[in-house]
Amino acid sequence: MDPVSMIIGALLAGAGAGVTESAQSAVTGAYAALRERLVGFLSREGRRDAVDRFEEDPAGEEERFRAELSASAAREDAEVLAAARRVWELVDPAAAAAGRFQVDLRDAKGVQVGDGNVQINRF
């Protein structure tokens, strides 16, 4: 799963998670951490209201939000991706354990994630 899809999916899953009260508290905390990191990145890039718009109308704003997130450095930030992964671990532990949502960028240089991409690196 590409980072943008993982982040968007985590926002949707975290917002709509119907779990027990104790688990809900953990999901709410993880969701808040993801949201805070995203808003921080997007605010610095002049897109402060992007997350709010997406939360208010996920279906109507997903394409626009995906484009904004794709253009943002947030899609490559290890903390944002870790926060998104944490939401997935709480909402869908089986899928997270299977590595379905795993993106590891430790010591990465010239990162490319997803299908059908073309990348040229000159270091």
Residue 108's pLDDT band, with cuts at 50, 70 and 90, is confident
Whether residue 81 lies inside any domain: the answer is: yes
Residue 103's pLDDT band, with cuts at 50, 70 and 90, is low
Model confidence, pTM: 0.67
The kind and range of the H/E element at 17 are none
Q: Is the pLDDT of residue 23 over 80?
A: no
Whether residue 56 lies inside any domain: the answer is: yes
Q: Write out pLDDT tens, residues 40-87.
A: 989 999 998 999 999 999 989 999 999 999 999 999 999 999 999 888
Domain that residue 77 falls in = 3-97
Residue 8's pLDDT band, with cuts at 50, 70 and 90, is confident
16 burial level (CB within 10 Å; 0-12, 13-18, 19+):
exposed
Alpha-carbon gap, residue 47 to 42, rounded angstroms: 5
> Any idea which residue has 């998104």 for tokens?
84
Residues 74-103: what's their mean pLDDT? 78
- Please tell me the total count of domains within the chain: 1
Whether residue 105 lies inside any domain: the answer is: no
Whether residue 77 lies inside any domain: the answer is: yes
Whether residue 42 lies inside any domain: the answer is: yes
